[in-house]
Amino acid sequence: VYLRESGGGLVQAGGSLRLSCAASGRTFSDYAMGWFRQAPGKEREFVAGISRSGDTTEYPDTVKGRFTISRDNTKNTVYLQMNSLKPEDTAVYYCAADRFYGPLRTIPGSYDYWGQGTQVTVSS
């Protein structure tokens, strides 16, 4: 599956951004989807996951209550709504697809396909 992120940019602390990830090439609803981020000098980290149907989501404590993942299987797109952004949210954000049929996974190496990433910069 081919993934392409969009929606990144520069925003002030406290602001919001909505990222989109459009998928093509395979049946989108066959994949659980995740959003990850990677800041300079840091490891890639999980920020949100959503099941194939969209009825199950998962977030780490660092973004819980501020970020919301959703998907539209009719549009082959997954979204990440980010509110109350902080400077520490600055990173390249990636979407990823997971073929695994089971609980949502949070380890980057578990995912099968990746987008090219979109930069999010939060100024203080």
pLDDT in tens, 59-78: 999 999 999 999 999 999 99
Q: Which position has the token pair 């009825």?
A: 55
Q: With contact defined as beta carbons under 8 Å apart, do 100 and 110 qualify?
A: yes
The radius of gyration of the chain from alpha carbons, rounded to an integer in Å, stands at 13
With H, G, I as helix, E, B as strand and everything else as coil, classify residue 108: helix
> Which residues of the chain are under the pLDDT cut of 70?
none
Closest CA to 101 of 53, 58, 69: 53
Q: What per-residue confidence (pLDDT) applies to 26?
A: 84
